[in-house]
Amino acid sequence: MMSGWMLGIGLISFIAAMALALGFTPLVKKLAIRIGAIDVPNHRKVHTRIMPRLGGVAIYGAFTVGLLLILPWVPADMLSTYDRNLISALLVGGTLIVVLGALDDKFDLSAKLKLLVQIGAACIVVFGYNIKIDLLNIPFGSAMQPLGEWLSIPLTILWIVGVTNAINLIDGLDGLAAGVSGIAVATLLVMGIIMSNEAIIILSAVLLGSIGGFLFFNFHPAKIFMGDSGSLFLGFALATLSMLGFKQVTVVSFVTPLLIIGVPLSDTFFAIIRRWVHKKPIFAPDKGHLHHCLQQLGFSHRKTVLIIYGIAAFFGTCAIVQSSVSNSGLGNWITFIVICALVFLLQIGAELIGIVDQSRRPVLDLLARLRMKPQTDSRGK
């Protein structure tokens, strides 16, 4: 049972981090303009005027300072060695990621260099603090199976690097990446409260407050962009927290992190499929992401962002419900049903908005044929 004192610490953490972000963001905006860390409009971008980026530095600064201010008030016996390693890994690896992103906001670094540094940050988590995916559960089985190092290490690195880039890919509209990340962090916070996980409560509360304070300046019409310094840091933080916050990762519980970050992961998946279908390089930028498709359907900038917020909230709710029932007798079956339903809905949604291809709609065409078949049979009788 979570104590009122712990919930109070979480609330104070949230408020303190938000206040810090509200104070840091205008200062970072001035710095970005002064050093030339700006985003210039082009044919792929939605905004039409030069904008300062580097906003991720404000998020990171609020998160780090807020965390360092709160931790001394947390009793030493409340955080395990694992929890302290988690916090250290997030701070050290996150610092490297923010430095990478800040340099990219100013100098536009190559994709290969950014990937190498992201792998380095993931290696810090895995080798520096021994935090990785250790356990696996065969679906509909009861025994937890330990993963060997040959599988555990690359799987963890792949997860961290993949989620880090997934958040970066959805950063295409004012407030989009920050809001979606905030919803994912809020989901983690709720799950941390349900599971009485003190470390996740503190980390999620501080990170959520940092995002909230920055979002005040980033929501449409934005006054500053988070840039790669923000999207990469938020992706790294979400990857670390969503994977490591609950001590063990099974096939059932591993579905939960996938749901928590469902919007950026599904958008990244469809982007890879879209570029493969059209025979384009996987890393080639385009205007086929979820937010682009919604705008092409006629939704305004603000409505597009709010629709995606709603989708992210739906994923988050599914994650909380799925996690709550995963330990029950029907947990495996409920998880299986949730996965099947979401895959079907994702495919239908992707075909409706044309996120992969405007002309290829296999499931919708099949449903249309099935709907027409009884009518054809009745006319033929």
Pairing, β 51-52 against β 144-146: unpaired
Q: Binding site for Mg(2+): which residues?
A: 168, 228
d(CA 206, CA 316): 19
Q: Count other Cβ atoms within 10 Å, centred on residue 328.
A: 10
d(CA 381, CA 377): 6
- Per the DSSP assignment, residues forming a β-bridge with 135 are 146
Which own/partner contact pairs does 103-107 have at CB distance under 8 Å and 24+ positions apart?
Answer: 104/227, 104/228, 104/229, 105/32, 105/37, 105/53, 105/54, 105/56, 105/227, 105/228, 105/229, 106/35, 106/36, 106/37, 106/54
**242: left (phi > 0), else alpha (psi -120 to 50), else beta?**
alpha
Q: Count other Cβ atoms within 10 Å, centred on residue 121.
A: 28
Structure token digits, residue 159? 């997860």
d(CA 177, CA 160): 17
Per the listing, tokens 């895995």 go with: 126
Element spanning 39, H or E: strand 38-39
Q: Binding site: which residues?
A: 168, 228
CB neighbours of 57 closer than 8 A, spacing ≥ 6? 24, 28, 31, 98, 102, 229, 230
